[in-house]
Structure 1
Amino acid sequence: MEKSFVSAQIEFRSVTKLYGAIAAVKELSLTVHRGEFLTILGPSGSGKTTALMLLAGFVAPSEGDILIARKSVAAVPSYRRDQGIVFQSYALFPHLTVRRNLEFPLEMRGVKAAERAARVGRMLERVHLSELGDRMPSQLSGGQQQRVALARALIADPPILLLDEPLGALDRNLREQMQGEIKRLHKEFGKTTICVTHDQEEALTLSDRIVVMRAGQIEQIDTPEALYDRPATRFVASFLGEANILEEPGFKLELDAPQSAGTVAMIRPERVCIAAPAAPKRVDADRRQYVTGTVEDMIYAGSLRKYHVRVGGGVLVVREHVASGQQTFQFGEEVRLDWLRSDLRLVTR
């Protein structure tokens, strides 16, 4: 069930950040709701990290304003913004134990020793590190260090949590495990969370909404499902997941509605079906388009099998889940592809 957000906690109002004549962020207007997990996604140089640094107070806007709880913070230093921050490098104090790392932000806020100890104990339990409180960061695995960094950011109970490429230093299996951990902690603590990443899977897994940025500006904002299934532009379609862009497909494309100027058709690889040329057509064949092509490559990736099929003047990517008894096709074989016309999307160029 999609979450319902009732109030804005963070607002960017026409924010621009210039470095000389270069605009790292240009006229950024964005509202983040209380309790929301919002991810800013984009390639290198898109402005996503600059946006986070502006919110954290590490850099100041050249133009525009940033509001937290309806109050301007553009001139407020970072240490007075009451935000928890987790960096890609974790930034744990290497000379302090896990327990002392967690105590530090409380000590800086004047929390008394007995209360500090109690809060640290409770937090260690919540991140499943109760037995490791006396270890040094160097004695922990990457996933354990990540949990310490999250715990330290949360222990002072800030209303806002900022995550800067939080899982970038972890291997794939551990990254997937930590995605679940972050989701659990977000549900438990309910913090308004802003995450910056270039990892599309991470963004789709964690977020209530995703902001896709390009060249310092917002390309599209929406829920993960809407962004993936209904991208507005060719850039979003290609950047968020994999897309077959049918610009000059080399065959007559069948559309349910007229194609407007300045748009191009797109279909996701998992929406394309592959079969032998003589295989029976599907029961809903009148709603599908069929084309023939030649397999140029087949990639086996455990649970998935991906084909590159030359059709007309281009190559279409087909992705299917591996199943027992499934027919497979090799290089040079002729195949038939089909898809529902309703699965085609028209995106702006």
Structure 2
Amino acid sequence: MFAGENSSSLPEAKVLAEITDPLQVEFRNVTKLYGAVAAVKDLSLGVHQGEFLTILGPSGSGKTTALMLLAGFVGPSSGDIRISGKSVASVPSYHRDQGIVFQSYALFPHLSVHRNLEFPLEMRGMKAGERSTRVARMLERVHLKEFGDRMPSQLSGGQQQRVALARALIADSPILLLDEPLGALDRNLREQMQGEIKSLHREFGKTTICVTHDQEEALTLSDRIVVMRAGQIEQIDAPEALYDRPTTRFVASFLGEANFLTDREFKIEPNACPAGTIPMIRPERVRITPLTSRLQSDTDERQFISGAVVSMIYAGPLRKYEVRVGSSVLIVREHVAAGQQTFGPGDIVQLELLRSDIRFVAN
């Protein structure tokens, strides 16, 4: 059956604790060595059927190597990779039933859009009439119905990305791999394509593994996010949980911005901070107000503290302040609203922190 004909779709959001689908992809203690350097170290990871999982991390974290291992472009030095319960560690990439979208799109420049989509079906021995029907349906689904005769060079970046997605989906492979799929697009187009990818995932229900360094992209698209560092998993969780409750300083800093409340000006109860951790609060959780009167901190819930504005950056819907408190500089982000008071460098302001918004992360 053509995947687009399946009327079932993924729910808008999953409660991952209730997932009962079997693991479709498994990394079992996988290590990949390049000489003496381990690009991936003892990686164990399971991906559920129909899940959208994003592997996130800085350059050199091992995220792309993990995807290349799953795609079959490189082999593991040790460990095993399983798809639907069967080992594929020694199976070549062309025998793995997966659709792949690369950052560079990797479209055939000498073939029309129609032929680019038809090619994987032809390689599978599908008859010409069925190929033509499926290509027409897929072009309509990705809003390129009138572009079948064009060459890739005649398309915009966003259109080429849609063709690459369509080609990866058209053969109805159960697994979709995305390697920095939106990295070549400008911000507005990237946001538009994020919505398109989410829509396609809901419709086709493919188990999708995406690699990116873009935190916003990961938070927008994923059911779960794996944060990698130096070839190992630092933390894995649902997007909201990962952002709101990071377990380490690295995750807190890499996934968004974070304020670490290590200065003595911040009155954190000693017994509230577990051993080996430091207190952290997100910039949008800090409220900035004029210093009209010095409010006293509420020992149960709120802390008020004064500081001097170092800088203010206007970014459309947001203002970002840097405020010096003691020897620390706090980042404060607030949504822009009509009639809102703004502050400039040198202004003395009052910051309000809710103790319930403070998290303790491993240092």
TM-score (norm 2): 0.93
Q: Map 1:8-47; keep pairs closer than 5 Å.
A: 8-47=23-62
| Preserved CA contact (<8 Å) 1:296 1:307 | yes
1:107 is matched by which residue type in structure 2?
E
The reply to whether residue 337 of structure 1 matches residue 348 of structure 2 is no
| Preserved CA contact (<8 Å) 1:163 1:196 | yes
Q: Percent identity?
A: 75
Structure 1: gaps (5+ residues): none
| Preserved CA contact (<8 Å) 2:309 2:347 | yes
SS of the aligned residue for 2:341 comes to coil
Cα distance change on mapping 1:80 and 1:282 into 2, 3 Å? farther
SS of the aligned residue for 1:32 comes to strand
Deviations 1:19-67, CA, capped at 9 Å, x for gaps: 0010000000000000000000000000000000000000000000000
The residue that corresponds to 2:127 in the other structure is 112
- How much does 1:128 deviate? 0.7
Q: Map 1:63-142; keep pairs closer than 5 Å.
A: 63-142=78-157
The residue that corresponds to 1:325 in the other structure is 339
Deviations 1:183-238, CA, capped at 9 Å, x for gaps: 00000000000000000000000000000000000000000000000000000000
The residue that corresponds to 1:155 in the other structure is 170
The residue that corresponds to 2:9 in the other structure is none
Structure 1 CA distance, aligned partners of 2:28 and 2:84?
Answer: 14
| Preserved CA contact (<8 Å) 1:250 1:314 | no
The residue that corresponds to 2:10 in the other structure is none
| Preserved CA contact (<8 Å) 1:245 1:265 | yes
SS of the aligned residue for 1:167 comes to coil
Structure 1 CA distance, aligned partners of 2:356 and 2:273?
Answer: 13
The residue that corresponds to 1:241 in the other structure is 256
The reply to whether residue 2 of structure 1 matches residue 14 of structure 2 is yes
| Preserved CA contact (<8 Å) 1:86 1:163 | yes
SS of the aligned residue for 2:272 comes to coil
Cα distance change on mapping 1:255 and 1:99 into 2, 3 Å? farther
| Preserved CA contact (<8 Å) 1:210 1:222 | yes
- How much does 1:252 deviate? 3.9
The residue that corresponds to 1:222 in the other structure is 237
The reply to whether residue 348 of structure 1 matches residue 356 of structure 2 is no
The reply to whether residue 273 of structure 1 matches residue 284 of structure 2 is no
Q: Map 1:149-188; keep pairs closer than 5 Å.
A: 149-188=164-203
Structure 2 CA distance, aligned partners of 1:106 and 1:242?
Answer: 45
Structure 1 CA distance, aligned partners of 2:306 and 2:259?
Answer: 16
Cα distance change on mapping 1:84 and 1:282 into 2, 3 Å? farther
Divergent runs of 4+, >6 A: 282-285
Q: Map 1:171-210; keep pairs closer than 5 Å.
A: 171-210=186-225
| Preserved CA contact (<8 Å) 1:254 1:289 | no
Count of paired positions: 348
Structure 2: gaps (5+ residues): 1-12
SS of the aligned residue for 1:315 comes to strand
2:276 is matched by which residue type in structure 1?
G
| Preserved CA contact (<8 Å) 1:250 1:311 | no
Deviations 1:123-164, CA, capped at 9 Å, x for gaps: 011111101111000111100000000000000000000000
Structure 1 CA distance, aligned partners of 2:143 and 2:128?
Answer: 22
Cα distance change on mapping 1:258 and 1:150 into 2, 3 Å? same
Structure 1 CA distance, aligned partners of 2:186 and 2:209?
Answer: 22
The residue that corresponds to 2:3 in the other structure is none
Cα distance change on mapping 1:102 and 1:282 into 2, 3 Å? farther
SS of the aligned residue for 1:319 comes to strand
- How much does 1:286 deviate? 5.1
2:233 is matched by which residue type in structure 1?
I
- How much does 1:278 deviate? 1.3
The residue that corresponds to 2:303 in the other structure is 289
TM-score (norm 1): 0.97
- How much does 1:2 deviate? 2.5
1:335 is matched by which residue type in structure 2?
V
| Preserved CA contact (<8 Å) 2:297 2:303 | no
SS of the aligned residue for 2:346 comes to coil
Structure 1 CA distance, aligned partners of 2:218 and 2:343?
Answer: 33
The residue that corresponds to 1:58 in the other structure is 73
1:133 is matched by which residue type in structure 2?
G
Structure 2 CA distance, aligned partners of 1:97 and 1:71?
Answer: 36
Deviations 1:262-301, CA, capped at 9 Å, x for gaps: 1011000000000111158699895111110000000000
| Preserved CA contact (<8 Å) 1:91 1:149 | yes
| Preserved CA contact (<8 Å) 1:24 1:46 | yes
Deviations 1:85-125, CA, capped at 9 Å, x for gaps: 00000000001000000000000000010000000001011
2:149 is matched by which residue type in structure 1?
D
Structure 1 CA distance, aligned partners of 2:314 and 2:134?
Answer: 49
Cα distance change on mapping 1:93 and 1:344 into 2, 3 Å? same
SS of the aligned residue for 1:298 comes to strand
